[in-house]
C-alpha cells in the first residue's frame, strides 16, 4: 500500500513542500520500500526528461523565412516609402511653381483706385495665373521643369535601389 | 550582435533593421520546433507552423511592449498557432477531449525492453511524443525551455494548478510504466 500520494511525491521532487512535510516524506521513504521505489522511478523520469534534446529544424529555415518576410512585409513597405517620396517631390515642385506664379502676380503693380471690385481682383489674378503658367510651360521654362522632375525621379530611384541593395546584403550576411 | 538581449533586437527591428529579426529566429527556432513537433506529431506541419508563428510574431512586434518576457509572448503565439493548425486538420474534437480530466494510457502503446533499448532517455523522449498535445507541450516547455509553471500558464492560457496537474500526470504515467515493468533497479 502506498503511504505517499503521487501528488506529494511530485511536489517533493519539485521542492514545493514545507520543511515539516519534507521531513515526514523522508521518514516514510526510509521505511516504505514501495514508496521509495515509486520515488526512484519518478526521479528517473524527471532526470531523463531534463536531458531531452531539442529537435533541429532545417538549416536553411532562417534564410527561407527571412526571404518570405521580406517579400510579404518589407518590400511592400519600401514600395510605399518610394511612392511617398516621389509624391512629396511632386508636391514640392507644384508648390514651387504655384508660389512662383503668385509671387510674380503680386509683384505686378496694380492701378491705384479707391475701390477695386472683388470680381476684378479675381479676374486679374486668374488672367495673371494663366499668363504666367503659359510663360512657364513654354520654351525654356518647360525644359527647366522637365529637368527638375527628371532629377527628382533619378534621386528617388537611386535612394530606393540603394535601400534594396542594403537589404539584400544584410539578408545575405 | 549575438549577445544582444531579445529586447535590444526587437528595438533594432522596430527601428527598421528588419534583418536583425534573423537573430531572434536563430535563437528560438529549434526550441519552438521541438514544441511544435511534439504537439503536431509531424515534422512538416511543425515546420510550416513554425514559419507561420515567426511571421505572426514579426507582424505583431509593435504590439509587444515588454510586459512579459519575449519568449513567453512568442511561445504563446507558437502554441496558439499550433492549436489552430490542429483544429484546421479536423482534430478539434480530439483537442477538446484532451482536457486535464481525460486519461491516457502509455502502457498500451509502449513496451520498453532494457536489453533491446539501451538508451532510456530516447525511450522517454519517444513517450513524450506520444502524449496528448497539451501534456507534451507542458513537458517540453518545462524541461526543454526551462519555463516555470507560471510562465507556462501564461503561454497556454490555463491556471498554474492545471499546468501542475498536467505536468504531474505526464510524469506519473511514465513513472507507473517503469514501476509496472520493474525497471527501477535495472535503470538506476
- Distance from the Cα of B119 to chain A's closest Cα (Å) equals 10
**What does the CA dihedral B52, B53, B59, B65 come to, rounded to 10 degrees?**
180
Chain B partners within 8 Å of A42 (Cβ)? 171-172, 175
**How large is the average pLDDT for residues B165-181?**
87
B-contacting residues in A 13-52 (Cβ below 8 Å): 37-38, 40-42, 44-46, 48-52
On whether the CB atoms of residues B145 and A49 are closer than 8 A, the answer is no
Measured between alpha carbons, how far is residue B160 from residues A11, B153, B164, B166 in Å? Answer: 14, 5, 6, 10
DSSP secondary structure of chain A: --SS-HHHHHHHHTT-S-HHHHHHHHHHHHH-HHHHHHHHHHHHHHHHHHTPPPPPPPTTHHHHHHHHHIIIIIHHHHHHHHHHHHHHHHHHHHHHHHHHHHHHHHHS-----S---HHHHHHHHHHHHHHHHHHHTSTHHHHHHHHHHHHHHHHHHHHHHHHHHHHHHHHH-
**How large is the average pLDDT for residues B103-127?**
66
Give a yes or no: residue A156 inside a domain: yes
Q: Which residues of B touch A (CB under 8 A)?
A: 17-19, 21-22, 25-26, 29-31, 33-34, 37, 47, 50-51, 54-55, 58-59, 120-121, 124-125, 128, 139-140, 143-144, 164, 167-168, 171-172, 174-175, 178-179, 183-184, 187-188
pLDDT band with cut points at 50, 70 and 90 for residue B58: very high
The set of cell numbers assigned to A129 is 495665373
- Residues A73, A41 share a domain: no
On whether the CB atoms of residues B72 and B155 are closer than 8 A, the answer is yes
Residue matched to cell numbers 549577445: B3
Q: Does residue B80 or residue B104 have the better pLDDT?
A: B80
- Residues A74, A15 share a domain: no
| pLDDT of amino acid A152 | 79
| pLDDT of amino acid A124 | 76
**How large is the average pLDDT for residues A10-18?**
91
Residue matched to cell numbers 499550433: B82
Q: How many domains does chain A have?
A: 2
- Residues A119, A159 share a domain: yes
- Residues A102, A30 share a domain: no
- Residues A75, A47 share a domain: no
**Range of the structural domain that residue A156 is part of:** 61-172
Cα B1 to Cα B102: distance, rounded to the nearest angstrom: 46
- Residues A82, A163 share a domain: yes
Percent of chain B clearing pLDDT 90 (strictly above): 54
Closest CA to B71 of B124, B128, B32: B32
Measured between alpha carbons, how far is residue B126 from residues A52, B106, B130 in Å? Answer: 10, 11, 7
Where is average pLDDT lowest: A39-43, A113-117, A132-136, A137-141? A113-117
Q: Does A135 touch chain B (CB under 8 A)?
A: no
On whether the CB atoms of residues A70 and A167 are closer than 8 A, the answer is yes
Please say if the pLDDT value at position B1 is more than 60. Answer: no
The set of cell numbers assigned to A53 is 534534446
Please say if the pLDDT value at position B112 is more than 70. Answer: no
Q: Give per-residue pLDDT as tens, A56-73.
A: 999 899 999 998 888 887
- Residues A164, A82 share a domain: yes
- Residues A162, A86 share a domain: yes
- Distance from the Cα of B13 to chain A's closest Cα (Å) equals 11
Residue matched to cell numbers 494548478: B161
- Asked which of A17, A33, A51 is the last residue of a domain, the reply is A51
Query: Which residues make Cβ contacts (< 8 Å) with residue A90, sequence separation at least 6?
Result: A149, A152
The set of cell numbers assigned to A135 is 510663360
- Going through chain B in order, the beta strands assigned E by DSSP cover none
Please say if the pLDDT value at position B138 is more than 80. Answer: yes
- Residues A150, A112 share a domain: yes
Please say if the pLDDT value at position B98 is more than 60. Answer: no
| pLDDT of amino acid A139 | 74
Where is average pLDDT lowest: A81-85, A90-94, A114-118, B177-181? A114-118
Question: Is the alpha carbon torsion for B167, B170, B176, B181 positive or negative?
Answer: negative
- Residues A85, A44 share a domain: no
Give a yes or no: residue A1 inside a domain: no
- Residues A98, A149 share a domain: yes
Q: Does A75 touch chain B (CB under 8 A)?
A: no
Interchain pair A10, B172: CB under 8 A: yes
- Biggest alpha carbon–alpha carbon distance for chain A: 120
Q: Where are the domains of chain B?
A: 1-92, 94-188
Q: Does residue B25 or residue A151 have the better pLDDT?
A: B25
Burial of A111 (0-12, 13-18, 19+ CB in 10 A): exposed
Cα B158 to Cα B94: distance, rounded to the nearest angstrom: 18
Fold assignment, B1-92: Rna Polymerase Sigma Factor; Chain: A (1.10.1740)
| pLDDT of amino acid B186 | 66
Q: Give per-residue pLDDT as tens, B15-50.
A: 888 889 999 999 999 999 999 999 998 899 999 999
Give a yes or no: residue A56 inside a domain: no
Please give the CATH number for the structural domain made up of B94-188.
Answer: 1.10.10.10
Amino acid at each position: 500500500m502506498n503511504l505517499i500520494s503521487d501528488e506529494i511525491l511530485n511536489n517533493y521532487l519539485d521542492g514545493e513542500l514545507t520543511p515539516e512535510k519534507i521531513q515526514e516524506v523522508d521518514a516514510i521513504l526510509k521505511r516504505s520500500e514501495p514508496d521509495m521505489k515509486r520515488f526512484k522511478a519518478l526521479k528517473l523520469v524527471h532526470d531523463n526528461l531534463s536531458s531531452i534534446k531539442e529537435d533541429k529544424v532545417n538549416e536553411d529555415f532562417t534564410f527561407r523565412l527571412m526571404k518570405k518576410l521580406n517579400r510579404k512585409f518589407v518590400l511592400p513597405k519600401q514600395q510605399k516609402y518610394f511612392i511617398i517620396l516621389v509624391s512629396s517631390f511632386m508636391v514640392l515642385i507644384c508648390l514651387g511653381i504655384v508660389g512662383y506664379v503668385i509671387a510674380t502676380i503680386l509683384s505686378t503693380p496694380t492701378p491705384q483706385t479707391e475701390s477695386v471690385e472683388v470680381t476684378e481682383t479675381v479676374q486679374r489674378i486668374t488672367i495673371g495665373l494663366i499668363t504666367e503658367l503659359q510663360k512657364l510651360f513654354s520654351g525654356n521654362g518647360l525644359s527647366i521643369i522637365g529637368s527638375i522632375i527628371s532629377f527628382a525621379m533619378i534621386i528617388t530611384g537611386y535612394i530606393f535601389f540603394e535601400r534594396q541593395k542594403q537589404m539584400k546584403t544584410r539578408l545575405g550576411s | 550582435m549575438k549577445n544582444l538581449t531579445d529586447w535590444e533586437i526587437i528595438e533594432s527591428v522596430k527601428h527598421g533593421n528588419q534583418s536583425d529579426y534573423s537573430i531572434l529566429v536563430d535563437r528560438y527556432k529549434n526550441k519552438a520546433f521541438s514544441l511544435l513537433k511534439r504537439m503536431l506529431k509531424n515534422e512538416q506541419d511543425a515546420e510550416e507552423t513554425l514559419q507561420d508563428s515567426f511571421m505572426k510574431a514579426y507582424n505583431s512586434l509593435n504590439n509587444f511592449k515588454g510586459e512579459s518576457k519575449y519568449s513567453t509572448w512568442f511561445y504563446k503565439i507558437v502554441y496558439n498557432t499550433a492549436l489552430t493548425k490542429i483544429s484546421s486538420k479536423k482534430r478539434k474534437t480530439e483537442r477538446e477531449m484532451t482536457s486535464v480530466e481525460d486519461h491516457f494510457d502509455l502502457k498500451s502503446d509502449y513496451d520498453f525492453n532494457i536489453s533491446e533499448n539501451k538508451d532510456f532517455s530516447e525511450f522517454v523522449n519517444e513517450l513524450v511524443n506520444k502524449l496528448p498535445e497539451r501534456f507534451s507541450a507542458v513537458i517540453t516547455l518545462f524541461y526543454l525551455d526551462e519555463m516555470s509553471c507560471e510562465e507556462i500558464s501564461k503561454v497556454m492560457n490555463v491556471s498554474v494548478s492545471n499546468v501542475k496537474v498536467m505536468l504531474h500526470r505526464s510524469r506519473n504515467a511514465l513513472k507507473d510504466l517503469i514501476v509496472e515493468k520493474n525497471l527501477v533497479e535495472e535503470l538506476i
